[in-house]
Copies of this chain bind each other. A is one copy, B any other.
Amino acid sequence: MSGTIKVTFEPEGKAAFVLPGSLVLEAAARAGIIVDTPCGGRGTCGKCRVIVRDGCSPVTATERRLLKPKELASGLRLACQAKLVRETAITVPDASRFFEQRILTKGVKRALKLCPAVAKRTVRVEEPTLTASRSDADRVLDALGDGALRLDLGAARQLPAALRAADHQVTAVLHGNDVLALEPGDTAGQCFGVAFDIGTTTVVGALLDLATGHEAAIAARTNPQVSFGDDVVARITYASEDSGLAELQAKIVECVNDIVAELAARAGVPRDGIYEMTTVGNTTMNHLLLGLDPRHVAQMPFPAVTRAAMEAPAADLGVAIHPRGRLYAMPNIAGFVGGDTVGVVLAADLAARRKPTLAVDIGTNGEMVLGTARRLVACSTAAGPAFEGARIRFGMRATDGAIEQVRLRDDVETSVIGDAPPRGLCGSALVDALAELLRVGILEPSGRMLGPNELPRKLPKALRRRVVPGERGNDFVLAHEAETGLDSPILLTQADVRQVQLAKGAIRAGIEVLKGELGVDDAGIDAILLAGGFGNFIRRRNALRIGLLPPVEHARIHFIGNAALVGAKMVLACTDYRAQAEALSHRVEYLELGGLPQFQAHFAEAMLFPESD
């Protein structure tokens, strides 16, 4: 440890040893404390506040810009700016922590076909005799009675002991035509697999009993890679440096293993009873899990390393299921439309729809697919982060203390997640607030917030008082300082409105491009399916009001939950779905919006809010 500095993080007292000059952010990550950095540590959001008594580098110009003199005087610093100089203790307030948010673990219910890649067969094997002293392998394969089965080296190594431990009764774990493992006696009743949805922000795993199709347990974690930036581009940038890829891969594998351990413990299943893992994720998450260099995904024209489904021994990645267990990673469609979208298309059975159906998955990215059995077209926008709190002054993820619903009556009515005073607002509240401000006339369709003197006359007094002049235009006070868990009011600023306009404009413009590509108008859209974390908590009417979605009847909008995870469960439950997924990854056409002039045109228009209800 010579040359390193000890840093203790309070209040838990966790310590890390780091080199002088390390960022507080990095040191915290080493101590296992994830500081929330919605801007990816770029020094633009000012959210990664920590309390430093001493031992750090001088305050930077960025900090002077983002923190008030009073805050600086009280020891507040930004974890992405302050560097460690000597041994010290640093306090990380709750508000700066990346808490587990409301995570969507359930998805559209589908009756899954059951024909898993992994199956078990118990047989009694003939004993060798002097006149028929055939090899152990030959006798086992004979007993299994399938000429196509192969026994590889790993299985052969287990064979003699497994065969003789239970009197020549043995259970073969089969994966396709491969004998994956041999277990003494009859273990056919225990055959599990795990399906994972690896999101940019959230990782969800489900344990399936492959003998019955029953879901035995489900668990989720925040993707620990968030400490390296909250969007895919930040991750790719980090992965492109030195050992960045290996580091990010190690992080996600650790997270997967934590979830597997939790699933196994909760279901009372040994990890060795889990033989396969399937995974969906966007192309970047897929590449980071598999250790594929994603740098070209971030560079024009954004090619992925591979589109195809990948199969590999789970142990090759360090995934701690059965030592000879397998991994199946859902195929991708393009650099910015990944296996999660294939999962959504599979779960929603889009490829079987006779009438045009639109699936929208808004997570950290927004992916859209529109089409019918005849043709499916997909596109992607990086618009998600605003709805997850990034670049929104008081934005935060949907965790304790987040305002998650907003209504304007005589005054503001809000509901807050958890038993806590509000600290900010999450995506669904953002959509609510904008829709309500539009309705009551505080917000113009152009996105301009009216000033105190321009407000509609009939506006209730309490609401009227909430409109205050801000740095850039006017702001709206969602919660007065006295109501909050902060030492300031919670504002929705003019700049915040512009951020939402950019985000929803990009998603809507993407949808419009898809419609144009397929020659479908709004009336022609049979159904809009909302998938993913954000999509499933927003209020449909408000999403329509702000123009995030095309104007279709309210009843045609459906929530389909974590459909990507359902897709991962489908390919785990039945190999027929793998063939479908593989076909979809070829069939779904990808439109790169950046290259299309019509996208720019739609975008300019979609940034505006609709004129009226």
Contact = CB atoms under 8 A, between A and B. Distances in A.
A325 B401 CA distance: 55
A243 interface: no
A159 interface: yes
Interface string A383-403: 000000000000000000000
A307 B137 CA distance: 7
Interface residues of A, number: 45
A585 to B, nearest CB: 10
A427 to B, nearest CB: 30
A167 to B, nearest CB: 15
Contacts of A303: 128, 133-136, 139
A160 B335 contact: no
Contacts of A139: 303
A572 interface: no
A296 B136 contact: yes
Given A138-B307, A153-B316, A306-B151, A133 B292 contact: no
A135 B304 contact: yes
A152 interface: yes
A455 interface: no
A261 to B, nearest CB: 24
Given A301-B130, A305-B136, A307-B135, A293 B157 contact: yes
A201 B308 CA distance: 48
A48 B208 CA distance: 61
A610 interface: no
B137 A305 contact: yes
Interface in A145-196: 151-153, 156-157, 159-161
A129 interface: yes
A291 interface: yes
Given A130-B594, A133-B334, A335-B133, A156 B306 contact: yes
Contacts of A156: 290, 292, 305-306, 310
A592 interface: yes
Contacts of A301: 128-130, 133
Contact of A295 (B160, B295, B307): B160
Nearest to A140: B306
B133 A302 contact: yes
Nearest to A133: B301
Interface string A283-321: 000000011110110001111111110111000100000
Contacts of A597: none
A458 to B, nearest CB: 51
A131 interface: yes
Contacts of A223: none
Contacts of A153: 290-292, 310-312, 316
A241 to B, nearest CB: 15
Contacts of A310: 152-153, 156
A227 interface: no
A128 to B, nearest CB: 4
A595 interface: yes
- Most B CB within 10 A of own CB, among A134, A291, A302, A311: A134
Nearest to A299: B128
Interface of A: 128-131, 133-139, 151-153, 156-157, 159-161, 290-293, 295-296, 300-308, 310-312, 316, 332, 334-335, 590, 592, 594-595
**Which 8 A-B residue pairs are closest in the complex by CB-CB distance?**
A137-B306, A130-B595, A133-B301, A135-B307, A135-B304, A128-B303, A130-B301, A153-B312
